[in-house]
Amino acid sequence: MNRVRMPPLGQTSDEIRIAAWLKQVGDDVSAGEPLVDVETDKATLEVEAATSGVLLAIAHEAGAVVTAGDTIGWIGAAGEQVPAADDAPPAAVPAAPLEQTEKVDAESSPAGRVLATPLVRALAREQGVDLNHIQGSGPAGRIEKQDVLAAAGTGAPVPAHRRAVAARLTRAAGVPQFSLGATVDLTRGLAVLDATPGATVTHLLVRAVAAALREHPALNRTWADDGPRLIPVDPIRVGLAVAADDRLVVPTLADPDREPLAALVARIGALVSETRTGRIGAAYTGTAAVTVSNLGMYGVDWFQAIVDPDQAAILAAGAINRRPVVRGEGISAVPQIELVLTVDHRVADGVAAARFLQALKGELE
């Protein structure tokens, strides 16, 4: 018999919500077969079965919130019994727990049963809100405080993924960070793009970051509080910030500098399409040391991004602008881009970051 443990999901593994089981207790399962859908603060993922057998028990039903390493089920031979210590699987943890001192109060109404705590009902009376006309956002349709406030026009409920993002960014704010920038001449880069259908500056940036990381491994590692330790990232992976509805998803690409540019264009195109549907494969969730965030297509000249607390740095890219540059005895209009690298100071100091940025500039030029 084998425990089914929640695997680490790269930089999105702080809080993982079980969205749906794809197999039911008693079903046959094959190794590598999708077993359960999970949601992180960044994406919906499929977790595959590590072993073959029968799904004997489920420890956490849909809606439960777990972390990497937690037991979520058991796979074994038909008829096997779950170990005695595990006979009573833990109850699912609701994504938005009730106030500890409150009990759910369900009352009948013409619109059906309304689930809400006495505290929420009191708030509804105070705000003049009819609970019968509210769609609850809590488990089983329970009406939450934010639902009442939204109905009263005093605030909009914050979706679970935005709450998770807020928690992660708050954690990131505690990481010591510094930024440094460089102006890059894209004359040669644009010539490469012209020769490769579908290629954009983003593709060049992803490739150049990977190449620079090979040359400067001091940035190709992440900080771990236990120890503390600096953990090398192998293989080299580069994160790519992708806007998807009301969230920012960061899939990662392994060795993007080891394939032709045309192949990378196809890979990133498929990945972005997949990401914007809310699902990315496990192959794109591994840990990356550096993420690329490009806002140049929105007319942003330059910006500073926040380093993910589980990465070493983030590269912010602005728009391409043609500027007069002295060359020889004349002045030319040169396409330039502003890059701002923000670094976790625990991982690297200014000189190491400057050398990495210099290498990155060299790759692009």
Profile the chain (365 residues) by mean pLDDT over runs of 10 residues: 84 72 93 86 79 94 88 92 60 38 44 71 83 81 83 71 79 94 97 96 98 97 94 96 82 96 96 82 88 96 95 98 92 97 98 98 97
* 3-class secondary structure, 149: helix
Write down the pLDDT at residue 112: 53
- Count CB neighbours of 16 within 10 A: 26
In a shared domain, residues 202 and 243: yes
In a shared domain, residues 219 and 360: yes
Are 221 and 232 in contact by the 8 Å Cβ rule? The answer is yes
Write down the pLDDT at residue 357: 98
Write down the pLDDT at residue 84: 66
In a shared domain, residues 271 and 352: yes
Q: What CATH number is given to the structural domain containing 101?
A: 4.10.320.10
- Count CB neighbours of 210 within 10 A: 25
pTM (two decimals): 0.72
In a shared domain, residues 219 and 357: yes
Assess if residue 217 is contained within a domain: yes
Structure tokens at 182: 């460089």
Assess if residue 293 is contained within a domain: yes
Q: What angle do CA 308, 309, 314 make, to 5 degrees?
A: 30
**Cα–Cα distance between 304 and 143 in angstroms, integer?**
39
Which one of 145, 173, 201 terminates a domain? 173
Write down the pLDDT at residue 127: 82
Are 314 and 339 in contact by the 8 Å Cβ rule? The answer is no
In a shared domain, residues 254 and 337: yes
Q: What CATH number is given to the structural domain containing 29?
A: 2.40.50.100
In a shared domain, residues 169 and 261: no
Range of the domain at 108: 96-173
Q: Which residues contact 260 (CB under 8 A, 6 or more apart)?
A: none
Q: Where are the alpha helices (DSSP H) in 216-349?
A: 261-276
Q: What CATH number is given to the structural domain containing 204?
A: 3.30.559.10
Distance of CA 221 to the CA centre of its chain: 18
What would you report as the CA-atom Rg of the chain, rounded to the nearest whole angstrom? 25
Assess if residue 41 is contained within a domain: yes
Helix %, strand %, coil % for the chain, to 5?
Answer: 30, 30, 40
Distance of CA 202 to the CA centre of its chain: 19
| Domains of the chain: total | 3
- Count CB neighbours of 124 within 10 A: 22
Assess if residue 91 is contained within a domain: no
Write down the pLDDT at residue 54: 94
In a shared domain, residues 37 and 63: yes
Return the amino acid letter for 214.
Answer: R
In a shared domain, residues 254 and 304: yes
Assess if residue 43 is contained within a domain: yes
In a shared domain, residues 82 and 159: no
E strand spans, the chain: 2-5, 16-21, 28-29, 34-39, 44-48, 53-58, 65-66, 71-76, 105-109, 112-116, 177-185, 221-224, 229-232, 237-240, 242-244, 247-249, 252-254, 290-294, 313-327, 330-344
Between the alpha carbon of residue 359 and those of residues 45, 64, 315, 355, 363, the distances in Å are 35, 45, 13, 6, 6
Assess if residue 260 is contained within a domain: yes
Which one of 86, 108, 139 terminates a domain? 86
Assess if residue 302 is contained within a domain: yes
**Cα–Cα distance between 44 and 55 in angstroms, integer?**
22
In a shared domain, residues 23 and 159: no
Among 314, 288, 291, smallest CA distance to 303 is for 314
In a shared domain, residues 215 and 350: yes
In a shared domain, residues 246 and 326: yes
Which one of 120, 148, 173 terminates a domain? 173
